[in-house]
Amino acid sequence: MTTNSLILDGAQVADTIKEQLKARIGRLAGQGITACLATVMVGDDPASDTYVRMKGNACRRIGIVSKRIQLAKETTTSELVEVIQQLNKDPLVHGILLQHPVPSHIDERAAFDTISIEKDVDGVTTMGFAQTAFGFGAFPSCTPAAIIAILDAYNISIEGRHAVVIGRSPILGKPVSLMLLNRNATVTICHSKTQQLDQIVKSADIVVAAVGRPKFVQGDWIKPGAVVMDAGYNKGNIGDVDYDACMRNASAITPVPAGVGPVTIATLLKHTVDAAERASMSNQ
């Protein structure tokens, strides 16, 4: 198969972000500060365990302390809330990540919303979402921020383009839609109840797939020249986009793996360093 699609190399974008972080981590070290991300995991889901370990390793490789808090799957909402409150108070912790999903008996939204906005480096709080939507203050969710970062790294213009987002979750579809809107895209938000999805996607200059279903977006849905951002990750390293088929029409496309994923992790690291710097400044 031949193609002229530009492969949007997330691994390279992530490396550039991490390279820039090193100097900042060095400056913090000069002030006696080590940026620290606390990851909280409840239960022993193997996929979540892998994610948490990946994030921890990424922290350590760059010089960020990763503090892992592992809680039993029987943990109650109020116990989890208390753990998070302790982390909020801990001056040595700059970012808090609660690994999604938590066991179903826990009120995940209440747990997320316990995270103080200054430490919400994963962008999961209700207030963080609203501040993102209004374009100020908080750390946006990492995957939406990663999608924007890749577009920016490749100088792909957003303003005035028609972006179609497939998915409407609180930490992906909704925030990425509002971030694209705030960058002056015209944004259409699609989901499981959308009719004639193929026709709507065909009108998009930028397609964001955030469905959670393998190879969901078909090649003939893509307008020639459109940009395809695959935020999906399904078992077996398969995205939400039929990559080979979409590539035939797309002007640019993110692969899976090595597309949005590594930039999401780099964004988490960046937010943690941002939080450490802000904390050091407010302590001066």
194 binds a copy of itself, rule: CB under 8 A? yes
Upper half-sphere CA count for residue 90 (Cβ side, 13 Å): 18
Q: What is the DSSP letter of 220?
A: G
251 binds a copy of itself, rule: CB under 8 A? no
* H/E element, 48: helix 46-62
Count Cβ atoms within 10 A of the Cβ of residue 267 and give its class: 0-12 exposed, 13-18 middle, 19 or more buried.
Answer: buried
Q: Is 99 in the active site?
A: yes
The site for a copy of itself, by CB under 8 A, has a size of: 30
Question: Where in 57-86 is the site for a copy of itself (CB under 8 A)?
Answer: none
Q: Is 119 in the active site?
A: no
3-state secondary structure of 33: coil
3-state secondary structure of 252: strand
Residue 168 marked as a ligand binder? yes
Among 90, 83, 81, smallest CA distance to 111 is for 81
Q: Is 274 in the active site?
A: no
Nearer to a copy of itself, 104 or 136 (CB): 136
111 binds a copy of itself, rule: CB under 8 A? no
N residues, the chain: 284
Out of 193, 224, 282, 283, the residue judged to bind a copy of itself by CB under 8 A? 193
Which of these is catalytic: 120, 122, 240, 242? 122
Which of these is catalytic: 18, 55, 119, 215? 55
106 binds a copy of itself, rule: CB under 8 A? no
Contacts of 194 (CB under 8 A, 6+ apart): 166, 200
- CB distance 275 to 121 below 8 Å: yes
- CB distance 39 to 66 below 8 Å: yes
Taking the complex as a whole, how short is the minimal distance between the CB of residue 260 and a copy of itself, in angstroms? 22
Question: Where in 199-218 is the site for a copy of itself (CB under 8 A)?
Answer: 200, 203
**Pattern 151-180, a copy of itself, x by CB under 8 A:** --------xx-x-----x-x---x--xx--
Residue 278 marked as a ligand binder? no
Out of 6, 65, 133, 238, the residue judged to bind a copy of itself by CB under 8 A? 133
Residue numbers in the known binding site are 167-169
